[in-house]
């Protein structure tokens, strides 16, 4: 029987206590006991009634039923009667410093402090929606890295964040700032041309706290002057980024809509391909063989098609990428 929304909403409280990084403080000496009507065992595909979960030092150490708890007084109790618990969800492609409701072109002028405020707000909303881990794939001025550090320090509520810092791409590419007039000499902080410049940018991101890396292998929907499927970074550039990230123990993602860019990213050792719009059968076989993950984020395109034009997003490019991605 489908769970009611009120039960699913238990995630916003229970999981922030269980898996969020900010709601359980080290000052609590007792282990925490969470009681609820049920929990969803996703491994077995069934609902377990009369749920009891024990948390110690911010880790779940036991999942059982209330009947198996001998002395509830030994624990700090959280009673979620009437609620059903589900595991925390992971979102592998977010941009916490952006707001989908904002006008896209106006938001390009937000200062880094303003973007950081947005990230703080969206981090809390994300956690309370049940997402206990996210991967943020690009933000200006290390705003999301600062947000992540604030969460880890217990200053603000939010999920665990893997943040790439600045997305790395070529001059005039999808991850450059192409909207201002030429005399403004605008240049995104992740711009790099050639293998050694790319390595330098990877190192720079890591220097300032990135715990993941992202490169832009092809054009994209939200950029000016780029073709969605056209390859932008060369194989040599992609390989240098992947090698540097892996040498430093980090995973690396590649924004890639077009087939040639996807294939070169897989050959270069990139860990995940984002969007994958024009991926063909050969690329899929390559990804399977290499163990490359595919992150297609279909909803992003659906939202852009529905609301993008009103918010300054290039609708024509979205209308090309969306049908291809949903095949």
Give the model confidence (pLDDT) of 24-59 as tens digits: 444 446 899 999 999 999 889 999 999 999 999 888
SS3 content of the chain, % helix, strand, coil (to 5): 40, 25, 40
C-alpha pair distances (Å), 243 with each of 130, 186, 237, 317: 34, 29, 10, 32
Q: Report d(CA 35, CA 80) in Å as an integer.
A: 6
Q: Which residue is listed with tokens 């390595």?
A: 199
pLDDT computed for residue 285 by the predictor: 98
pLDDT computed for residue 300 by the predictor: 63
pLDDT computed for residue 180 by the predictor: 85
pLDDT computed for residue 9 by the predictor: 41
Q: Report d(CA 13, CA 15) in Å as an integer.
A: 6
Domain housing 178: 89-325
pLDDT along the chain (327 residues), means of 10: 39 43 50 95 92 92 92 92 92 92 81 96 96 96 98 97 98 91 93 98 98 96 83 98 98 97 98 95 98 84 63 55 53
Q: Report d(CA 110, CA 121) in Å as an integer.
A: 15
End-of-domain residue from the set 42, 70, 85: 85
C-alpha pair distances (Å), 161 with each of 60, 81, 94: 19, 30, 10
- Residues in contact with 306: Cβ distance below 8 Å, sequence separation at least 6, in sequence order: none
pLDDT computed for residue 55 by the predictor: 94
pLDDT computed for residue 99 by the predictor: 87
Same domain, 35 and 161: no
pLDDT computed for residue 317 by the predictor: 56
pTM: 0.81
Same domain, 98 and 73: no
End-of-domain residue from the set 56, 85, 114: 85
Question: The CATH number of the domain where 265 resides is what?
Answer: 3.20.20.140
């Amino acid at each position: 029987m489908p769970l009611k929304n009120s039960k699913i909403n238990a995630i916003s409280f229970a999981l922030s206590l269980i898996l969020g990084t900010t709601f359980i403080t080290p000052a609590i000496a007792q282990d925490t006991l969470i009681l609820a009507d049920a929990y969803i065992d996703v491994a077995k595909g069934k609902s377990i009634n009369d749920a009891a979960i024990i948390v110690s030092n911010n880790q779940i150490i036991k999942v059982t039923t209330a009947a198996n708890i001998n002395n509830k007084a030994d624990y700090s109790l959280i009673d979620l009667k009437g609620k059903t618990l589900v595991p925390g969800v992971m979102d592998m492609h977010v941009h916490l410093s952006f707001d989908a409701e904002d006008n896209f072109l106006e938001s390009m002028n937000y200062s880094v402090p303003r973007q950081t405020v947005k990230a703080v707000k969206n981090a809390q909303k994300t956690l309370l929606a049940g997402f206990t881990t996210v991967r943020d794939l690009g933000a200006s001025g290390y705003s999301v890295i600062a947000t992540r550090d604030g969460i880890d320090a217990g200053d603000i509520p939010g999920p665990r964040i893997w943040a790439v810092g600045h997305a790395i791409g070529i001059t005039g590419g999808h991850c450059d700032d192409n909207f201002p007039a030429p005399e403004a000499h605008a240049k995104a902080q992740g711009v790099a041309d050639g293998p050694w410049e790319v390595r330098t940018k990877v190192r720079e991101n890591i220097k300032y706290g990135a715990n993941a890396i992202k490169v832009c292998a092809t054009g994209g929907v939200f950029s000016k002057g780029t073709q969605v499927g056209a390859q932008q970074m060369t194989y040599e550039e992609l390989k240098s980024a992947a090698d540097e990230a892996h040498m430093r123990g980090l995973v690396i993602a590649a924004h890639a809509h077009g087939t040639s860019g996807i294939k070169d990213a897989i050959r270069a050792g990139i860990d995940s391909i984002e969007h994958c719009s024009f991926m063909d059968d050969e690329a899929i076989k390559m990804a399977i063989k290499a163990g490359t993950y595919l992150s297609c984020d279909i909803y992003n395109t659906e939202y852009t098609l529905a609301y993008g034009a009103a918010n300054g997003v290039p609708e024509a490019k979205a209308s090309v990428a969306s049908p291809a991605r949903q095949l």
